[in-house]
Amino acid sequence: MFDKEKIKLFVQETLGCGCPGEVFKNIDCLSNVKIDHSALKNKINIGNRLLIYIVELKSSEDLKQMPSLVEAGIKERDLEFNRFRLVLVTENINGIKQAADALFKEIDKDDRVHLHIIATKDIPAW
């Protein structure tokens, strides 16, 4: 079981989501989800409008999975969601951020796809 209020606060405050309040009435969170050859820490559905993949990165080497995760997220988003957010969680933001941002710019996507790089300590236990 997960804490919907903690997820709502994380999405609104940490990710800066401006979705209307009624969207947060329906929240679903799955843990340890396989997407292609990657493992998501969490896959979150906010009101069937916002899709969030949360991925833990141990090193910049793990960024290799980002293009396939964005592609999978876009495909899933296009089935029923309005937006997709990929959240990379790491202990080493300084070592990952620049490379992640550069790679994200190179990936074919639209303006309904967003990247967030978050410190591990900023992900609440839900």
- What percent of the chain stands above pLDDT 70? 100
CB 6 within 8 A of CB 126: yes
Structure confidence by residue, pLDDT tens digits, 46-101: 999 999 999 999 888 999 999 999 999 999 999 999 999 999 999 999 889 999 99
pLDDT at 37 over 90: no
Q: How far apart are CA 65 and CA 39, in angstroms?
A: 10
* CA geometry: angle 96, 118, 116, nearest 5 deg: 85
Q: What is the pLDDT of residue 101?
A: 96
Structure confidence by residue, pLDDT tens digits, 1-31: 789 999 999 999 999 998 888 999 999 999 9
Q: How far apart are CA 116 and CA 126, in angstroms?
A: 19
Q: How far apart are CA 90 and CA 57, in angstroms?
A: 5
Q: Please give the domain boundaries of the chain with CATH numbers for all domains.
A: 4-122 (3.40.1350)
Extract the tokens encoding 123.
């992900």
Cα separations in angstroms, 17 against 46, 50, 91:
10, 9, 23
pTM above 0.85, yes or no: yes
